[in-house]
Each structure stands twice: as C-alpha cells, then as structure tokens.
Amino acid sequence: MSDLKYSKDHEWVRLEGGTATVGISDYAQEQLGDVVYVELPETGRRVSRGEQAAVVESVKAASEIYAPVGGEVVETNGALDENPSLVNSAPTGDGWFLKVRVDDAGELAALMDEAAYADYVAGLE
C-alpha cells in the first residue's frame, strides 16, 4: 500500500501509467460510518485539483469528495451503485470511486505518503 498518496481531505490516489485511481481513506470511511450511496461523476468530465468530483452519503450525512489531482474522469466504480458498503469494507481496494487521466503528475507531489498521512490523522484524534 506504500504506493498510495493522501490528501488532507482524506482522499487517496494511486498513480499507474498516467491514470490515477481515487478513493477515500480508511480513516474517512470510519468517520463516515455506513455508506449508503455514492454519487459519481460522468466519465469524460474534466476535474481540476480540489474540485468536487463525487458525493458520499452515510446514514447521517452527505460529504463531498474532491479530486486530489486534476484530469479527465475515464472510469467510475459502477459496483458502488449496488453495493456502496464496499467503501466501508474495502476503502482502498474495491471501494474506489473513480479513475482520472492525470494532466500533471507533478500535482501528486503536494500529497502525503502513507507515513505522513498516518501522522496527519494521529494529529486529528
């Protein structure tokens, strides 16, 4: 899992060959509680870094998901339509949200690695 980069908003990114897979962290799903609905963007939509890209709804509330890196949405996780609880059970695996063809891989430099994110979360507790 050392290939994941994290934003301060608790999104994660995995960059593979110019395409970034985006989801929310284990800490984020734990804070949200039971996820009951995920609203994903249309493929083909362009998102810039920090722009709202998706919405995740728990029993209690709706939360916005921001693109941690800019580019074109090339794929979204259709499995979340039928089974949004994947976000809880496998937040950094089958519970991914969307894939973005990255405009500028340099934007990832602003994100935290696993260890830095763990420190960041520890500071929030």
Question: What would the two tokens of residue 70 be?
Answer: 């800019």
Question: Does 121 contact other proteins by CB under 8 A?
Answer: no
Cβ neighbours of residue 32 closer than 8 Å, sequence gap 6 or more = 24, 56, 58, 60, 63, 87, 88
In the list 13, 40, 65, 121, the residue contacting other proteins (rule: CB under 8 A) is 65
Nearer to other proteins, 39 or 103 (CB): 39
Question: Does 64 contact other proteins by CB under 8 A?
Answer: yes
| Pairwise CA distance, residues 114 & 35, whole Å | 23
Q: How far is the CB of 56 from other proteins (least distance, A)?
A: 7
Question: Does 110 contact other proteins by CB under 8 A?
Answer: no
In the list 56, 87, 100, 111, the residue contacting other proteins (rule: CB under 8 A) is 56
Question: Does 63 contact other proteins by CB under 8 A?
Answer: yes
Nearer to other proteins, 21 or 58 (CB): 58
Local structure of 89: helix, strand or coil? helix
Burial class (CB in 10 A: 0-12, 13-18, 19+), 67: buried
Q: Which residues bind other proteins (CB under 8 A)?
A: 9-11, 24, 28, 33-34, 36-37, 39, 55-66, 81, 84
